[in-house]
Amino acid sequence: MATAHDDVLGVILAGGQGRRMGGADKALLPLAGRPLVARVIERLAPQVGRLALSANGDPARFAGLGIPVLADPFDENVGPLAGLASGLAHAARLDPPARWVATVAVDTPFFPVDLVARLRAAVADDGRSVAIAATAGRVHPVAALHPREAFEELHAGLASGGLRRVMSWIEARPSVVVDFGLVDGHDPFANLNTPEDLAAAERRLATRT
């Protein structure tokens, strides 16, 4: 298991609307008897100093998790970048502030246990650079490490309406891609978007026991 990086805040992005799951709250969907969000917390917590969950709606539904729940800073749905903006703002409020924010999607329960360590080792410590995960050359922009200092630039871009895509944000700054490869023939960053994906993940877990 990778050593936790105390200067990194881990932010789990759970703001999706789960349309292909029938509108279900993905974070609370059970995977092998446990909510997806609980599995992602268990996987990310050992890699970072502190954790937070980016999710809209009633935060009381996550009260049992024991981590802060961050609402999007904008009324309109602007996607994962809004969750990143919330995470960067929260990182600055911590005591001591977190230097970096590592993001993962709540529907990617198999991301690598050394994700943060490898991203942190690869990124330049210049206050602008971003490290992004990839599998076999395919980038996963939501699985990334961002510097806290980028908050004001990100917030301004979102507020103006000129920034909406995660890749547009990443492409506008220095970045490094870290390729993790397949794990047991699977993409470790694959999203569970449909009931069929969830069933396949159940079978995958069953083969490990």
Q: What is the dihedral of CA 121, 177, 18, 186, to 10 degrees?
A: -90
| pLDDT values of the chain reduced to their tens digit, one per residue, 209 residues | 446 799 999 999 997 655 657 567 899 999 999 999 999 999 999 999 999 999 988 999 999 999 999 998 876 677 899 999 999 999 999 999 999 999 999 999 999 999 999 999 999 999 999 999 999 889 999 999 999 999 999 999 998 888 889 999 999 999 999 999 998 889 999 999 999 999 999 998 988 75
Supply the pLDDT for residue 17.
Answer: 59
Supply the pLDDT for residue 1.
Answer: 43
Scanning the structure block, which residue is given the tokens 């050992």?
46
Give the span between the Cα atoms of 58 and 136, in whole angstroms.
38
- Domain of residue 90 covers 5-206
**CB-CB contact of 178 with 119 (8 Å):** yes
Burial class (CB in 10 A: 0-12, 13-18, 19+), 1: exposed
Q: How many CA atoms lie within 13 A of 86 on its CB side?
A: 27
CA 154 to mean position of chain CA atoms:
16
At 56, which CATH number? 3.90.550.10
Supply the pLDDT for residue 16.
Answer: 63
Structural domains in the chain (count): 1
